[in-house]
Homo-oligomer: A and B are copies of this chain.
Amino acid sequence: MAVIGRVALVGAGPGDPDLLTRRAVARLRAADLVLFDALVDERVLKLARRAQRFFVGKRAGRHALSQAEIHAVMIRAARRGRRVVRLKGGDPFVFGRGGEEALALQAAGIPFEIVPGVTSLLSGPSLAGIPVTHRGVAGSVLVTTGHDVEAFSAMVRGLKAPGVTLIIAMGYGRRMPLAEALLEAGWPASTPVALVAGASLPGQHVWRGTLSRLAAGEGACDGEAPTLIVVGDVAAMALVSESDLVEDEREWRMRRSEC
């Protein structure tokens, strides 16, 4: 019988290596091969000390490997007995295409596991001091993407706005039509909005405003960091520590800079 390796689909969290889970760290340390995307931090990759590292993400608008090629590489490596880590920003099953990869592994009979990660969709707002749920303010959270404005419009049209926090990934470039869609769906112009760029990373930026200000073109941020859009009453909250912690307590300090 052939030696069979295994694949772990691992969530790398929002970026900061301290937000990796212990299991993610263990899998990286034991890995022979790591396949990683553009959003994975260099400090995270360094934990895979004995592994061959293989970039399979999108750079300058081009995919290094197609999804089918990624599947083929994982399956081939596992069949050769290697321990493969497929490392994804955030959580592998939250907008990570992890489902497609798990299906391919399952069909090929390769042993695999899912290692959940801290999704940036929820931790991004948290690290900006926004509780995505808050008693008497928001009791539900809708996470979605912003790449299809039409589908987004159809979905939010019937959604009751009060009490729902809306978190939009991959929508920063279309933030004006997305804000328009919410206004047309009847969300109040004064609904608070926050943009959270580069959550958990040293350059984390937060912009706070309203739906009407976003629709009017405010909220431009410099930089390439992925930017979340948070819409709802909680977006006006900024639960960050007001104290000045001493310099050597950097880990404890909430980084806050404004767009």
Contact = CB atoms under 8 A, between A and B. Distances in A.
Interface in A21-37: 21-23, 25-26
B158 A94 contact: no
A208 B140 CA distance: 24
Given A118-B116, A158-B160, A239-B114, A17 B22 contact: yes
> Which size bracket describes the interface of A in this complex?
35 or more
B22 A25 contact: yes
A106 interface: yes
Contacts of A106: 239-242
A236 to B, nearest CB: 12
A219 interface: no
20 contacts: A17-B22, A19-B22, A20-B21, A22-B22, A91-B122, A91-B126, A98-B131, A99-B134, A100-B135, A102-B131, A103-B239, A109-B243, A112-B241, A113-B241, A113-B252, A114-B239, A116-B122, A155-B160, A155-B164, A159-B159
Interface of A: 4, 6, 8, 13-14, 16-23, 25-26, 91-100, 102-103, 105-106, 109-114, 116-119, 122-123, 125-127, 129-135, 137, 139-145, 148, 151, 154-155, 157-160, 163-164, 234, 237, 239-243, 245, 251-254
